[in-house]
Structure 1
């Protein structure tokens, strides 16, 4: 039978589950939510009195340990109270105490509302095949056998006709915390294991969170390099944070909120936050907020460097002994004078412009006096200075140089590799590393594209080369992407840029010929499947969980199966096993193990490294196991002896000047007007701060932020979170007044790529000329194509950054105009 993906059919994923029957929404909230609240108070069954509805619930049959697995950087234990095979309540971790290193891992509002995801009316319930145009929401119900056969037939056809490079697992981090049910393709999981057995598939380098900073770290440090853990602030004289908001981004017990708050409370370390908005971290932890225009941190740091050099406030000895290219005397052989970072800053380089505070102030929006004062605070600090950054500053068109500038400022302080200092990167944490026997099979296909350029690979794959598109492992792509696996991710549409352009591409099934989406919700990306498979939630299966980011505490969670699978859903391990059987490789895929046996095997393999980790059954009973670690201080050995402990850079040192980038600048085929630089220069960009002031059509810089009500787009359809944390566009009072706007007015936010409707929050917590829209709202187009959900990616661009080929989604220019609230029923 054919059904509509946007209707109310049980099949389409909008009906009510058979275990609970049909109820009003408020009654449903009492079942699907967590704990007792207003919904429970009004959720009496027919014939019940209010007093009966408020009576204490019957005790649970059992309490089962599980976890929240979404990509916030945390991973928090959850305890599910279960009665009659239904989760009736969600409780947090009840082990540990209130000390750093042994703290409780308390889940945030998202994890505590997980029942509304598990029992969501948008749960997918049965396999479906599209019968109309992709994205039209027209489906037919099929059996699992039909689905497996269809997938295997199309996979076999694509492999035979185009080869393994034509198969791609889309970026997905909605199930990132597990080992068997991991959705983060290049680094493991069931789909990647299956494809590796079948000869491999095209994969990607980088990711939407960290594409530019990952490349910046590779260039400057030789690879991924964290900075000191937040608990180490106790040893810092000063902490300077660029665009990092751990209080909100990593707000749960498995994140950084507890560690940062406790360390600040106990040690009173001075904290300065540089950010376009007064973030929760700036509000709660900072002694000073420096408001800056997005994408101009690299200009600010050049001006800070100018003051520090002019007043001899930098650590020249460290720069001479541990770095390459800070000054002309330490450039690689053959590089012309005037190419160093110092020459660039002091106006002795090719552009001849001294990067004074007076030069930087009109670019950054930071007053000259503030720049001078900040430079002197950093340079005159009596002890170590911890320079650190989040991942927002690098989501710009010049994001690689943004990150490299922050690394360079850290080097100028001489505080790298010492307690209280840092590398200029994002906070590290003590981590317990699980064994990964399930991911042991390597990928025979070595060709990679940037995580962000998969749409290009669909549209013009063989035109993409190492020189014009950053293809790695080969000179060029041999074929376009023809088959996509999309598991546990919403980046196929919602989290990628330029949604209008992306959906137009995906609708054309002569380009990408077959898309399999494996998901437990009717997400935006689910609408663009050819075969749509209903996945299990983590409550309906077992896995062993990678830990979160909790300072000096290491831990793992044995997430046990709490309830039987709902509806006609199946898990990713069973799905891939069935496809593997049809492809003739089931034995190689499963190795004769069930999913539970793979989990037990992973625990036993991990115990070879950590003998104190309890055996499988004991860990299953405990739920969460914790170990106390130490403060993380990266590059300590390198700091102590750079000759004996070289970095994996060509020189073995910190490369402020990159000879690799210098050479690529001559070889690469870059779009007109773009350039890459050997030192972290400020480069004007097409949708940066200076363009905003010159471009009258779209004079506002739009940035995004991570949000309490969602993790990226996960939890985006949970009613409680939508009510508690409504989508709002932040706008400065000066910009609001100029447009006649008050709090809660509705606006149309637009540029040449599209438009979205959203209510505004007028607040001085955002810099003038900047607007902020929390990312991850689920795209909801109205009859005229205008999005009605405040979806940021209707406005962002496909155009990648120059060096990392990453996503510059915070380099977006817009205008807005007052309008009326949308008719969501139209």
Structure 2
């Protein structure tokens, strides 16, 4: 390895950007600790052995941080004796936002990579469970023994239950790099005839479902965030880009530059005064969680009654705004305007006064905001994904998007269709996976039901696609680079109940880098390499507005850690499909093949070989600031360029939702278990209007993406835990009523469990609402306890999929808080 000082664009003078957290204490006792004192975990004394100063002659390798924040930033890992001793980030170009090239600088998470690599929780060797499932008792075994067990279980499940009984679980710990991603196992299983795979995700399933009914497109469809440079007003419902897209190559930088260029006023509507409010907002409008559709409906009322709508656009591009564009078989008075004006099913006008009582936003501010939106052309209306992680999240999504249609801001420069800003196609090639013989799929959030009762899941009731009924119960779970089985899934106690029964799911295999909360529930644990320990091809991820490519290098793998591709080769050999899986290529040959057939097609100016590309370092390509405008063709000519809805138009009244409402059984005894056909506010269980539950649990609890980790990734890094400890946000009004002072220990509880955590008393959250950063590692007080001392919010969330998208409602919770 040699220190590189070349790039395919001009370098700036060398600048060091050392993580300032390095000056902090380097205590080794990270979250999770060593498991039962076994030697398969990395011990603190070993971690401290790498605390050595870097020297000028130390070489570095290029690597990346490829977890699921949407950014994928460049890292320079300085190496001595095959160990990473320091991490810096991209400094290879001068920032030039106008011309689409700028540094891909990592945030503190990526810069703390070395602490993550050598933390006490790092896995050394394969493990086999020796106690009850979930007890966390394991013994080290050889790779041969571990893979023999896995291969035998795969053969047994495929033979006895069918390919659909083998499930590759949703995980996003690695989101780019063909040789590092989860497609390796998919390719293996497709060589055997196929496997189960859920559709959609935990992040945006309600968004995808709601916009599919509205626009015929499953989300990710908004104008680029840079388009705010072309408007004077941008209104964000819940978006928190400064924390969720925080790197130099991500959307935090993009929005700051675009706002500056357009002199754009930004209004943010959120229960919390987030870091995005601090950094870019001109005004914060607090709102109660789950009530965005009520606010949007009241804004629509003002827009309609004060004649600030784009009537020509509504008549030519939309279905169901009023009776004149309703389908012939639609019920009388079922249009969107009927609901808003109070001539619909509930006969209640959705006035600002009506919405103020529900949302907590003053009526006067609702009138003013509606006029600001209606009088600004174009107006950029956007929503983050927090508003859709509610028990009726699809309605929040559709109600906000309806505002963009009322005002005619869809398909134009500087406007938006109400969705999150558009994602940008990754330039990283993918390992070909082949043909999956299992065509039937379930909503990914429903995987636990697929374990317990998969064969009784149907299309009408459970959202099955590709068939009328699911063909199998899940008997084998492969979990690679993810912590969603336990930590990130709703209602941990319910998940544990199902997985404790080994007659249901017979084998859980976890391949990961650390002993996570999910790994403790595995039958077999396989230690995986981290990114600096394996070579690959990487490029920008979905939330980056610049083009670049990098061929990474690697240090020696940690102890017995192995890359997932190599592990799948060994499994393929045991299963008799090695030739089909490898096609005669080893890892480096696959990288060369994918580089030639994929990367160089995107970047034809790249060096001729992988070896030359590695020497060149990071390759940048300028990208235009004027990104394509989604739905522009439809806006120009809706007849020639129709949408993929049944009508070809925007469906403010959805006949498909009406059909679904007649097919799908809902529980009328549960507040909010309904399927409306027009965007509307729905009061739900554990929401602000669930008065019966609020008598016992009066506070709404929401989660948020925490800047100290990406979901649960980096949650055990000691530096980040010291600077960004896990706390519960609570307003001073609510804290005073409970005798709680800042940093007091508290118990947050409901019928599903209890979390013990420190209180952050702050006016940055509204009264009646508390919040915890999602992703902290679950750490039960004892093996049979429902009390968590790790700060994991899913101890308290409810496993009840939404009525429409069968998706996660993890921000819909009611709790009580007491001082300990």
TM-score (normalised: structure 1): 0.92
Distance 1:766 1:549 in 2: 30
Task: Provide the residue aligned with 1:542 in structure 2.
Answer: 535
Deviations 1:317-345 (CA, angstroms, capped at 9, x unpaired): 11111111111211123212311111110
**CA-CA distance at 1:599 after TM superposition:** 1.7
Task: Provide the residue aligned with 1:585 in structure 2.
Answer: 577
**CA-CA distance at 1:80 after TM superposition:** 1.0
Distance 2:449 2:420 in 1: 30
Distance 2:705 2:310 in 1: 36
Give the conservation status (yes or no) of the 8 Å contact 1:159–1:166. yes
Matched, 1:15 2:43: yes
**Counterparts of residues 490-509 of structure 1 (less than 5 Å):** 490-509=483-502
Matched, 1:601 2:622: no
**CA-CA distance at 1:519 after TM superposition:** 0.7
Moved more, 574-583 or 552-561: 552-561
Task: Provide the residue aligned with 2:758 in structure 1.
Answer: 759
Task: Provide the residue aligned with 1:45 in structure 2.
Answer: none
Gaps (5+ residues) in structure 1? 17-21, 32-55, 184-188, 820-826
Moved more, 777-786 or 367-376: 777-786
TM-score (normalised: structure 2): 0.92
Distance 2:462 2:82 in 1: 51
Matched, 1:794 2:795: yes
**Counterparts of residues 560-571 of structure 1 (less than 5 Å):** 560-561=553-554, 563-571=555-563
Distance 2:543 2:390 in 1: 28
Give the conservation status (yes or no) of the 8 Å contact 1:580–1:586. yes
Deviations 1:547-590 (CA, angstroms, capped at 9, x unpaired): 135654222332222x1112111110011111111111011111
Task: Provide the residue aligned with 1:40 in structure 2.
Answer: none
The one of 374, 396, 399 equivalent to 1:402 is: 396
The one of 438, 441, 445 equivalent to 1:448 is: 441
Distance 1:453 1:212 in 2: 13
Distance 1:443 1:172 in 2: 19
Give the conservation status (yes or no) of the 8 Å contact 1:750–1:814. yes
Give the conservation status (yes or no) of the 8 Å contact 1:179–1:546. no
**1:614–1:312 distance in 2 versus 1, CA, 3 Å:** farther
**CA-CA distance at 1:602 after TM superposition:** 1.5
**CA-CA distance at 1:425 after TM superposition:** 0.7
Matched, 1:236 2:265: no
Task: Provide the residue aligned with 2:647 in structure 1.
Answer: 651
Counting matched residue pairs gives 776
Task: Provide the residue aligned with 2:9 in structure 1.
Answer: none
Distance 2:432 2:211 in 1: 25
Task: Provide the residue aligned with 1:678 in structure 2.
Answer: 677
Task: Provide the residue aligned with 2:657 in structure 1.
Answer: 661
Matched, 1:810 2:815: no
Deviations 1:502-557 (CA, angstroms, capped at 9, x unpaired): 12222221110001110110111110111111111111111112413565422233
Distance 2:387 2:692 in 1: 19
**CA-CA distance at 1:481 after TM superposition:** 0.5
Distance 1:551 1:515 in 2: 35
Task: Provide the residue aligned with 1:345 in structure 2.
Answer: 340
Give the conservation status (yes or no) of the 8 Å contact 1:305–1:345. yes
- Cα RMSD after superposing both structures: 1.6
Distance 1:454 1:585 in 2: 28
**CA-CA distance at 1:717 after TM superposition:** 0.5
**CA-CA distance at 1:356 after TM superposition:** 0.7
Matched, 1:30 2:51: yes
Q: Give the secondary-structure state (helix, strand or coil) at the position aligned to 1:123.
A: coil
**CA-CA distance at 1:228 after TM superposition:** 1.4
Give the conservation status (yes or no) of the 8 Å contact 1:8–1:15. no
The one of 298, 301, 306 equivalent to 2:293 is: 298
Give the conservation status (yes or no) of the 8 Å contact 1:692–1:813. no
**Counterparts of residues 38-187 of structure 1 (less than 5 Å):** 57-100=54-97, 101-183=100-182
Give the conservation status (yes or no) of the 8 Å contact 1:5–1:139. no
Matched, 1:205 2:199: yes
Gaps (5+ residues) in structure 2? 1-32
Q: Give the secondary-structure state (helix, strand or coil) at the position aligned to 1:449.
A: coil
**1:171–1:147 distance in 2 versus 1, CA, 3 Å:** same
Task: Provide the residue aligned with 1:512 in structure 2.
Answer: 505
Give the conservation status (yes or no) of the 8 Å contact 2:130–2:138. yes
Distance 1:742 1:93 in 2: 42
Deviations 1:702-733 (CA, angstroms, capped at 9, x unpaired): 00110111100000000000001011111111
Matched, 1:391 2:390: no
Give the conservation status (yes or no) of the 8 Å contact 1:220–1:654. yes
Distance 2:167 2:328 in 1: 42
Deviations 1:82-122 (CA, angstroms, capped at 9, x unpaired): 12211121110112222222110100000000001111221
